[in-house]
Amino acid sequence: MSNNRSKRKTLVCDRCGNTRLIHDYARGEIICPVCGNVISERAIDRGPEWRAFTPEEREKRSRIGMPLDRITPESLSTEIDWKSKDAAGRELSLKRKIEMLRLRKWHLRTRIQSSIERNLAQAAIELERLSSHLGLPKVIKDRALEIYRIALETGLVRGRSIESVMAAAIYAACRERRLPRTLDEISRYTRAGRKDVARCYRLLIRETPVKVPLPNAIDFVPRIGETLKLSTRTIREAINILREAQKLGITAGKDPAGLAAAAIYIASLRSGEVRTQKEVAQAAQVTEVTVRNRYKELAKKLKIPLPLRQG
């Protein structure tokens, strides 16, 4: 298939010579679908070279984790005691006593402050690790840290891992900014696992003022379209299909990624930039069957005549 969008630099897999490479925007990588080679131009911060399909596998194969933290709060803090004597046991002057009182107060505050700061510092490391895996832009990272801070100040982190709360914060930030990342994608890189992250996320939504708009299939379209290297015209068409579907109210309760995939599939057939169900399904991270079911449904309800042929 010739590439009519020749602006994109043609890359060749250096292992098998394949030229049809898949751009994985989620991880900021270019991947060879033939041999699985990763041709990322960004040499740093690749995803793991292994793939895991079950939590057990993930556990077994993961070699990374949180840095060991031997610096406990106790080992760092000092105390200003309440005796009003100096080191030599002499009584202090009143002026000096008042000063010491102020110092103590300040010191105590600093310690509480610094416990939050320490947690945040740890969380920031985690954020950096996760977002480099996911290729997140700075706005999302900033917002995620903000949300995390809110969670921390609400006391949500206590008893939970920094990792999973941070993952939840990232997920919330992504949805808030309408840059959809699935829970799976985000939790893939955490030790905690999807379920834990989901629980933290729900808690986050319930217990804090952080509000997130409902997931919208249209938000998924650009990313899937990009992955499939579709023209903006086709992408726009897919969005229009979804708008129509939403007007008819047939999108409720359906996986937005599946709907987006179906709309893209239809649009691709219509525009002649044909993609197979398999390709679309892979890009949207749903199965072929779901694409099929959704697109049949959309075609029927929107009265799009079938079968669709290119042209």
Interacting residues toward DNA by CB under 7 A: 194-195, 198, 253-255, 258, 274, 276-278, 285-290, 292-296, 306-307
The rounded distance, in Å, linking the Cα atoms of 262 and 264 is 5
C-beta of 131: minimal distance to DNA in Å?
Answer: 23
Contacts of 231 (CB under 8 A, 6+ apart): 5, 271, 273
First to last CA, the chain: 16
Which residues face 85 on adjacent strands?
91
Query: Measured between alpha carbons, how far is 77 from 111 in angstroms, rounded to an integer?
Result: 8
Angle between helical axes of 288-301 and 232-247 (0-180°, round to 10): 60
Shortest Å, Cβ 115 to DNA: 32
264 and 230 in contact (C-beta within 8 Å)?
Answer: yes
- 10 Cβ contact list (under 8 Å, min separation 6): 3, 19
Residue nearer to DNA on the CB measure, 15 or 296: 296
Q: Which residues contact 166 (CB under 8 A, 6 or more apart)?
A: 123, 126, 127, 130, 144, 148
Report the residue number, 148 or 295, with the smaller CB distance to DNA.
295
Residue 236 CA from chain centroid, whole number: 25
Min dist. Cβ of residue 286 to DNA (A): 4
Shortest Å, Cβ 263 to DNA: 13
CB of 103 to DNA, least distance (A): 51
Q: Which is nearer to DNA, 169 or 291 (CB)?
A: 291
Nearer to DNA, 165 or 281 (CB): 281
CB of 275 to DNA, least distance (A): 8
Whichever of 216 and 287 has its CB closer to DNA, that residue is: 287
Report helix, strand or coil for 263. helix
| Closer Cβ to DNA, 52 or 198, answer by number | 198
Structure tokens at 293: 């079911």
Nearer to DNA, 135 or 215 (CB): 215
Q: What is the DSSP string of 69-109?
A: ----HHHH-----S--B-TTSPBPPHHHHHHHHHHHHHHHH
The nearest distance, CB 254 to DNA, in angstroms, is 4
